[in-house]
C-alpha cells in the first residue's frame, strides 16, 4: 500500500491564483521522490499541501490510509509532526542556540506550557545531540544559529526535522541558496537519511544534474499539472524542453 496517496489535488490561493490543477500520484515508503519544474509550477504549494501548512481546495491526500485533506486541531498537529520539513532559507530561530533549534522539532508532541518553560526531557536533549551528530555539527550545539554558514544552518534544519522522527521528509528547494559544493554535502545527508533510516524523502529541486544523482523517481510539474513521472534516467532532452520550455539550457552542477 502506498505511504502517501494524492488524488486529483487542487489548490487555489485566496487571490484566485490556481497553483495546482488536478494532481494524482502515489509515494511508496523509502522512495526519494524529486519534484521538478519552473518557479511557479506548483512545487512548493504541493509540499505545503502534503504537510497541511496549506489546505487543499479539492481532491484528497491520504497518509497511511488516513484521510488528512481537511483535518484540524489535534489531528492536524499529529499529521504535521509526523512529517519533517526543511526550507530554502533554513528558517531557523537565529537568536536561539543550535541545540534549542533542534529541540523545537519536538514542539508538536510537547504540551505548550512544558515547552515554554523549557522543560525538555533528558531523552529529548540526548536525541537532539545525537541528531546533530548525524549531520556532523554536534560541536556547534551551544552557538547561536545565525552565526553558522548557510550549509551548516541547513544541516541544523535537517536535525530539527529528524527530531520529529518523521515518516516523510519534505525538502523545499533545500540547496537553492547554497553554493555547489555545500549543495552536494546537504544532498548527501538527505540521501543518507533516506538510505539508512528508510525515511521517505520528497524534494523540490531546480538542477537536473542533482536530480539524476539523487532521485529514485521524478515528478515534473508545469503550471500545476504533472507532465512527467518516472525514473530520472528517462528524462531525455525532449522531456527537458517540455518541462522547462524550448529556450531552456541545462545547467550542470557538480
| Whether 25 contacts 6, CB under 8 Å | yes
Residue among 164 and 194 whose Cβ is closer to other proteins: 164
Residues 6+ apart with CB under 8 A from 233: 212
Spatial contact of 92 and 168, defined as CB atoms under 8 Å apart = no
The piece of 4-12, 63-71, 77-85, 239-247 that touches other proteins (CB under 8 A) is 77-85
Query: Which of 59/108 has CB closer to other proteins?
Result: 108
x-or-dash string of contact with other proteins, 142-171, rule CB under 8 A: ---------------x--x--xx-------
Of residues 175, 193, 176, the one with CA closest to residue 184:
175
Asked if 108 contacts 77 with a C-beta cutoff of 8 angstroms, the reply is: yes
Order of strands, sheet of 66-67, starting from the edge strand that comes earlier in the sequence = 18-27, 4-12, 58-63, 66-67
Q: Tell me which residues in 82-111 interact with other proteins (CB under 8 A).
A: 82-85, 87, 89-96, 104-109
Beta carbons of 82 and 53 less than 8 angstroms apart: no
Q: Does 115 bind other proteins (CB under 8 A)?
A: yes
Question: Rg (Cα) of the chain, in Å, rounded?
Answer: 18
Nearest one of 72, 74, 45 to 57, comparing CA atoms:
45
Give least dist CB 137 to other proteins, A.
Answer: 18
Burial (CB count <10 Å: 0-12, 13-18, 19+), residue 86:
buried
- Nearest approach in angstroms of CB 89 to other proteins is 5
Q: Closest CB to other proteins among 109 and 217? A: 109
Site string for other proteins, 29-58 (x = CB under 8 A): ----------------------x-x-----
The DSSP string of 121-154 is -HHHHHHHHHHHHHTT-GGGTTSBGGGS-HHHHH
Q: Does 224 bind other proteins (CB under 8 A)?
A: no
Residue 173 CB, shortest distance to other proteins, in Å, is 12
Taking CB under 8 A as the rule, does residue 120 contact other proteins?
A: no
Binding residue count for other proteins, defined by CB under 8 A: 34
Q: Least distance to other proteins from the beta carbon of 48, Å?
A: 8
Backbone angle region of 179, left / alpha / beta, with phi > 0 → left and psi within -120 to 50 → alpha = beta
Question: How near is the Cβ of 236 to other proteins at its closest, in Å?
Answer: 35
CB of 105 to other proteins, least distance (A): 6
Nearer to other proteins, 155 or 184 (CB): 155
Residues at the site binding other proteins, with contacts judged by CB under 8 A: 51, 53, 76-85, 87, 89-96, 104-109, 112, 115-116, 157, 160, 163-164
Amino acid at each position: 500500500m502506498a505511504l502517501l496517496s494524492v488524488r486529483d489535488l487542487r489548490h487555489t490561493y485566496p487571490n484566485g491564483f490556481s497553483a495546482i490543477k488536478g494532481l494524482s500520484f502515489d509515494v511508496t515508503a523509502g522512495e526519494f521522490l524529486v519534484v521538478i519544474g519552473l518557479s511557479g509550477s506548483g512545487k512548493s504549494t504541493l509540499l505545503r499541501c502534503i504537510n497541511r501548512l496549506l489546505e487543499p481546495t479539492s481532491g484528497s491526500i491520504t497518509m497511511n490510509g488516513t484521510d488528512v485533506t481537511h483535518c484540524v486541531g489535534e489531528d492536524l498537529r499529529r499529521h504535521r509532526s509526523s512529517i519533517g520539513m526543511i526550507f530554502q532559507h533554513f528558517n531557523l530561530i537565529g537568536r536561539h542556540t543550535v541545540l534549542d533549534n533542534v529541540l523545537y522539532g519536538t514542539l508538536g508532541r510537547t504540551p505548550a506550557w512544558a515547552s515554554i518553560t523549557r522543560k525538555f526531557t533528558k531523552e529529548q536533549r540526548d536525541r537532539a545531540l545525537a541528531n546533530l551528530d548525524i549531520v556532523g555539527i554536534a560541536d556547534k550545539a551551544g552557538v547561536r544559529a545565525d552565526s553558522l554558514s548557510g550549509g551548516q544552518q541547513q544541516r541544523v534544519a535537517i536535525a530539527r526535522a529528524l527530531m520529529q522522527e518523521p515518516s516523510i521528509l519534505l525538502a523545499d528547494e533545500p540547496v537553492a541558496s547554497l553554493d555547489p559544493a555545500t549543495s552536494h554535502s546537504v544532498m548527501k545527508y538527505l540521501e543518507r537519511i533516506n538510505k539508512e533510516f528508510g525515511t521517505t524523502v520528497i524534494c523540490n529541486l531546480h538542477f537536473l544534474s542533482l536530480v539524476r544523482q539523487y532521485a529514485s523517481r521524478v515528478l515534473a510539474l508545469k503550471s500545476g499539472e504533472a507532465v512527467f513521472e518516472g525514473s530520472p534516467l528517462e528524462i531525455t532532452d525532449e522531456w527537458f524542453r517540455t518541462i522547462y520550455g524550448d529556450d531552456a539550457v541545462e545547467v550542470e552542477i557538480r
